[in-house]
Amino acid sequence: MRAPPRLPAGLLLLLAPLFAGAAAQAQVRAVDLYAPRPFGYTIGDTIELSAEIALDAPFRLDPASLPRPRALSYWLDLRDVRLDDRGVADGVQRYTLHLAYQTFYAPLEPKRLDLPALPLTAADGGRRIELSVPSWSFLMSPLREIVASAGGTTMALRPDMAPPRIATAGTLRHLGVALIGALLALLLLAWHLGWGPLGRRRTRPFARAARAVTAELAPSTSSPPAYGRALVALHRAFDATAGAGVFAEDLPGFFAAHPAFAPVEGEVRRLFAASRRLFFGEDPAAAARELAPEDVLALARRLRAVERGSA
């Protein structure tokens, strides 16, 4: 855009009154009102209008000149005013002004009413121009007849709205979900720790071994053969964990593959030594000296704990 030629300040002052009107016209390109249907409104209805405002570019709407939401008259409220700045294009600054009114007029017959024009101000830093969103008229309709025709009285009020109950369905559903979650967590935990019947899982050989050892070494049934069976149960668990038979000379490989068992390495070596005495040396007394039945029991429980990660 070409800048307007500068005039001497004095001349401008002289000419200002002459040009003021024309200048304002030139700087306000358009104010277009977009309105809903102009009829069929009843008391308490809201009416939403929007106005497209186009100004010459340096001019901007003065936000302070926008009306504030308030009661405009005894029957008309301005509920909401929202200005969308749609930016400058081709030297034209565009705005969309959204207006929401609410009418509380109680007509006896269809009646035409006016939404008043809204004055706005635009400025480009120094100069100020006035523009206005045009007024708009609409028809309001009555809600009730003037004289009751169907027997009833015109003064019969609509009934009260009953106080609502607090909705509990959502809370109940959430409670159900939480309880199911807790049950699921408990089941998974039982599975993971090998509680109860879930202790017989194939992937928990030491849990099974611990049950077997506990059963074999119970004080009432304890005997040399039972001690042997307890050791065998533990060896089966080692075999199942390693996926192959584990002998004393395989232990370094076993601990390398399963580092979690490292803390119990000393006891495990004693277990294998005891087994060697019992099964190959045929010397139960020496075996029991190497690893007493209570120690076997304790070792079985420690191995189970290591296996399920709770050691």
Partner 1 sequence: MRTERLLLLALLLLLVASLGAAGWFGLRLVQDRLANADIAALASGRDIPVDADARPALLLARLSFLATRDRFEEAQPLVNRIMATGDTPIVATALYDLANARLRAALSHLEINEIDPAVPLVRLAKEGYRRALGLDPGLWDAKYNLDIAMRLVRDFPQIETSGEDLPPEAAKRLWTDLPGVPQGLP
- The contact set with partner 1 (CB under 8 A) reads 42-46, 74-75, 77, 79, 102, 104-109, 111, 142-144, 154-155, 157-166, 168, 171-172, 174-175, 178-179, 181-182, 184-186, 188-189, 192-193, 258, 260, 306-310
Containing H/E element for 306?
helix 293-308
Chain centroid to CA 136 = 44
Q: Which residues contact 224 (CB under 8 A, 6 or more apart)?
A: 284
Q: CA 84 → CA 52, 78, 87, 192, 251, distances in Å?
A: 10, 18, 9, 60, 78
Q: Closer CB to partner 1, residue 188 or residue 244?
A: 188
Question: Cβ of residue 34: shortest distance to partner 1, in angstroms?
Answer: 20
Question: Cβ of residue 67: shortest distance to partner 1, in angstroms?
Answer: 17
Q: For residue 59, give the 3-state DSSP assignment.
A: coil
Question: Cβ of residue 15: shortest distance to partner 1, in angstroms?
Answer: 45
Judge contact between 310 and 204, C-beta under 8 A. Answer: no
Judge contact between 107 and 125, C-beta under 8 A. Answer: no
Judge contact between 237 and 208, C-beta under 8 A. Answer: yes
How many angstroms separate the CA atoms of 43 and 201, rounded? 74
Question: Cβ of residue 202: shortest distance to partner 1, in angstroms?
Answer: 15
Q: Closer CB to partner 1, residue 86 or residue 258?
A: 258
Longest dimension (CA), the chain: 130
How many angstroms separate the CA atoms of 84 and 82, rounded? 7
Containing H/E element for 202?
none
Question: Cβ of residue 123: shortest distance to partner 1, in angstroms?
Answer: 33
Instruction: Give the other-Cβ count within 10 Å of 57's Cβ.
Output: 15
Chain centroid to CA 310 = 34
Q: Closer CB to partner 1, residue 46 or residue 223?
A: 46
Instruction: Give the other-Cβ count within 10 Å of 188's Cβ.
Output: 11
Question: Cβ of residue 161: shortest distance to partner 1, in angstroms?
Answer: 5
Q: Closer CB to partner 1, residue 230 or residue 251?
A: 251
Q: Closer CB to partner 1, residue 182 or residue 248?
A: 182
Question: Cβ of residue 285: shortest distance to partner 1, in angstroms?
Answer: 35
Q: Closer CB to partner 1, residue 1 or residue 162?
A: 162
Q: Closer CB to partner 1, residue 175 or residue 215?
A: 175
